[in-house]
């Protein structure tokens, strides 16, 4: 990962569909000690929820996903500014901005970025990143 800052902390993105936001907050709570070692970025509502529950984390809330937050994270991926993407996807709910979601997951794959879309996968990815 390249970064314009001298900060050696990992840069991780946290995103969750509406039906998965509680699950993301709980996952972040379980891993708060590890996540304190990283700079976190999240789309709007997800970031607000995590900041409210875990104010000790270094988390920057971006725009809401449908209002450009997904694109902000996509740009960070393209610029090599993220070390991992944790995107808890709800496969059972229709998403009006589904094309943005697909673009973000596609970029994670194209740039070979560690990408987790469920809590159990996120556990494995987080443990691997911090080894």
Q: Which residues are catalytic?
A: 70
Q: Which residues on neighbouring strands pair with residue 11, listed in sequence order? A: 39
Helix, strand, coil percent content, the chain, rounded in steps of 5: 50, 20, 35
Q: What is the rounded distance in angstroms from the CA atom of residue 130 to the CA atom of residue 37?
A: 9
Q: Tell me the pairing of strands 38-42 and 58-61.
A: parallel
Is residue 103 within 8 A of residue 111, CB to CB? The reply is: no
Q: What is the DSSP letter of 19?
A: G
Candidates 59, 61, 80, 63; CA nearest to 71 is 63
């Amino acid at each position: 990962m390249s970064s314009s800052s001298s900060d050696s902390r990992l840069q991780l993105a946290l995103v969750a569909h509406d039906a998965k936001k509680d699950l993301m907050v709980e996952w972040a709570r379980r891993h708060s000690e590890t996540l304190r070692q990283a700079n976190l970025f999240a789309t709007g509502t997800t970031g607000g929820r995590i900041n409210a529950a875990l104010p000790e984390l270094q988390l920057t809330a971006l725009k809401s996903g449908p209002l450009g937050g997904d694109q902000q994270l996509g740009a960070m991926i393209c610029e090599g500014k993220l070390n991992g993407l944790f995107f808890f996807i709800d496969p059972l709910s229709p998403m009006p901005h589904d094309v943005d979601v697909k673009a973000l997951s596609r970029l994670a794959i194209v740039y070979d970025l560690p990408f987790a879309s469920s809590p159990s996968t996120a556990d494995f990815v987080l443990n691997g990143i911090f080894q």
